[in-house]
Amino acid sequence: MVEFQVSIADSKEGKSFQTKVEGHHANSLIGKSINDEVDGIFVGLPGYKLRITGGSDSEGFPMKKGMPTPGRKKVIGKKGIGFKSNPRNVRLKKTVRGSRISSDISQINMKVIEHGPKKVSDLLQEDEGEN
């Protein structure tokens, strides 16, 4: 069964929250891509709209925007996700994951774009108390 660790950034509260998503909610996230808007019900935030901003797989390879594949690829680049700048601007070959969410992804980053009636901290703390 698929399970994701989701990190949700809320600019209104200025905090980031972590939660686990599993079961049919996790299956509904498979196939989504970076910059896709998702209903908050999938991560326990009814009434919210979230945008996928990135993520990584279980080995730590980051998702890179602009690569429409769910797998890993070796890319050559100078700057951006997965690259550290070099003073001589030497291009490096790095392994990154595509922008589509698959069952190999372990962590997903999201940010709140539309707020719901309750605060994010109230909704996610209730979930933590139940476990």
- Higher-pLDDT residue of 45 and 131 is 45
- The burial of 30, by beta-carbon neighbours within 10 Å (0-12 exposed, 13-18 middle, 19 or more buried), is given as middle
pLDDT in tens, 5-36: 999 999 888 999 999 999 999 999 999 999 99
Q: Which pLDDT score is estimated for 93?
A: 84
pLDDT over threshold 90, residue 105: yes
Instruction: Return mean pLDDT, the chain.
Output: 87
- Higher-pLDDT residue of 25 and 1 is 25
Q: Cα separations (Å) of 129 from 47, 50, 51? A: 21, 23, 26
pLDDT over threshold 80, residue 69: yes
Sole residue written with tokens 């909610």:
25
